[in-house]
Amino acid sequence: MCTTCGCGAGETRVDDEPAVELEQAHADMPAAGAGPQHPAASEHEAGSGHWHRHADGTWHSHAHEHADTHEHVQGSTHSPRHDAAAAVTPSRMLQIERDILAKNDAHAAENRKRFEEQGIFALNLVSSPGSGKTSLLCRTIEHLQPGVPITVIEGDQQTSRDAERIRATGAPALQINTGKGCHLDAEMVGHALRRLSPPDDSLLLIENVGNLVCPAAFDLGEAHKVVILSVTEGEDKPLKYPGMFHAASLMLLNKIDLLPYVAFDVELAISYARRVNPTLAVMQVSATTGEGFEDWLAWLLAGCSHCQQRKQTTVAALQRRIAELEALLPAAARG
Amino acid sequence: MHEMALAMGILQIVEESARTQPFRRVRTVVVEIGELSAVEASALCFCFDAVTHGTLAEGAALDVIAISGQGLCFNCGKTVHLAALYDPCPDCGGYPVQATAGTEMRVKELEVE
């Protein structure tokens, strides 16, 4: 389990069925509490745990026994020598240079390719719990249907309540339950896409787990992250959780119908958000009254239209290429 | 944040490397973590120890090289050191400063035997 946010894995469920592929992906994970055996714990400085900071700014962890005289070669390369046996066995350095989230990014790239091929405008909606994401989605769907085909992927730790709320609007929705997980990852979304089969030229809305921290780091293949901040939260949220506001392209300031009743400084909230992300677009909306929805709906339609045009351009280019090759075929056959 | 997921990502990279370049044991994993990546080095080390239990990386040391944050100040146009995503420019005190380095999360190299 994640020490910071309680994130775990291995209990992901898609529409209340175990996500087998996902579970296999996490099969290596030990049970919670199966931490490292550390017979020499007492040899560390009190409170230092399994890691140390060195003078050169690097951190260093140990899961095994080592002597008090903790011998490191100081310098640009860090060469730990922890026990005599290891020191005798020859070792070699392998250059890796790979991003830690490379596996997620590869799945995200697959999802993004699918979206491009199908002309799908995919959005990843992120916020803290209770900001009104699901209400916002329901109202958005009511406005856009039946003109725009919409499908929804709902992420929550437990229950399929949100997917049921979305289905009541008539839009197909799939619930992913992340179990102990604190965010959706690209593999879960890929799995959901195979089940949901969103149509060509449609809008896909992915409602992430309510969490302003972890979902920021996980690309799902979406065109944009849209962060929702409600006026019942503090205006300093962008400063407290900068990662999410930095990763988003658009901030929806929701529940503006409540502004007369709460001490929320709209301009201050926007200025904090733009400190973290200078290019962030901002729209003020109310999912309850529909106020401010014209801009939001226009933004969505522009995004859909852009994705459809890009697909048409690609298809037209491929058709031209096919025609060129077909024209060459009789000559090649004669030759 | 999700240091456990990141530790599992590191282990996956180690295991994939073991398939292409056979080795028996990992002695050290060197990772580069940017100052602006919101990763807590101590939590990452703790999670790394937990996920590598029973794998070929069990007992390996995790060296975390901190990459300092850098940003471009929109106010004065200089590239400056940035300690947090929302900090003002240390040179002119202006906003905003767009991060240009320090968001990395990479496995740099492995010491294997």
- A240, two tokens: 């407290």
Is A304's pLDDT higher than 60? yes
Taking residue A26's Cβ as centre, other Cβ atoms within 10 Å add up to: 18
Per the DSSP assignment, residues forming a β-bridge with A175 are: A154
pLDDT tens digits for range A88-130: 678 899 999 889 988 899 999 999 999 999 999 999 999 999 9
The model's pTM is 0.77
Question: pLDDT of A45-68, one tens digit each?
Answer: 333 334 555 555 566 665 444 433
Tokens of B3: 């240091």
Select the CATH number that applies to the domain covering A102-310 from these four: 3.40.50.620, 3.40.50.300, 3.40.109.10, 3.40.50.1820. 3.40.50.300
Question: In DSSP terms, which residues pair with A51 in a beta bridge?
Answer: A61
Q: Do A29 and B98 touch (CB under 8 A)?
A: no
What's the pLDDT tens digit per position in B19-47? 998 898 999 999 999 998 888 899 999 99
Chain B residue whose CA is closest to A76: B65
* Among the partner residues B42, B51, B58, nearest to A59 by beta-carbon distance: B42
Q: What residues of A are in contact with residue B11 (Cβ under 8 Å)?
A: 28
Instruction: Give me B79's structure tokens.
Output: 């590239």
Among B90, B52, B56, CA closest to B70: B90
pLDDT band at A29 (very low <50, low <70, confident <90, very high): very low
Pairing, β A121-127 against β A224-230:
parallel
> Within 13 Å, how many C-alpha atoms sit on residue B89's CB side?
18
Question: Is the minimum CB–CB distance between B60 and chain A shorter than 8 Å?
Answer: yes
Option in A30, A57, A98 nearest B50 (CB): A30
Q: How does pLDDT run across A75-92, given as a tens digit for each residue?
A: 333 434 444 444 567 889
The confidence score (pLDDT) of residue B60 equals 95
Instruction: Assign residue B58 the CATH number of its domain.
Output: 3.30.2320.80
Does a cis peptide bond (omega within 30 degrees of 0) precede residue A18? no
- Please, what is the angle between helix A133-144 and helix A293-334, to 10°? 60
Range of the domain at B86: 3-112
Residue of A nearest to B97 (CA): A275
Q: In b/e form, how buried is each residue of B61-93, taking b as 16+ CB within 10 angstroms?
A: bbbbbbbebbbbbeeeeeebbbeebbbbbeeee
Of residues A59, A63, A242, nearest to B59 (C-beta): A63
Residuewise pLDDT in 10s, chain B (113 residues): 578 889 999 999 999 999 998 898 999 999 999 998 888 899 999 999 999 999 999 999 999 999 999 999 989 999 999 988 878 899 999 888 888 999 889 999 999 99
Distance CA A256, CA A231 (A): 6
**Confidence class of residue A39 from pLDDT cuts 50, 70 and 90?**
very low
The Cα of A233 is separated from the nearest Cα of chain B by a number of Å equal to: 19
Residue of A nearest to B113 (CA): A91
Domain ranges of chain A: 102-310
When divided into structural domains, chain B yields a total of 1
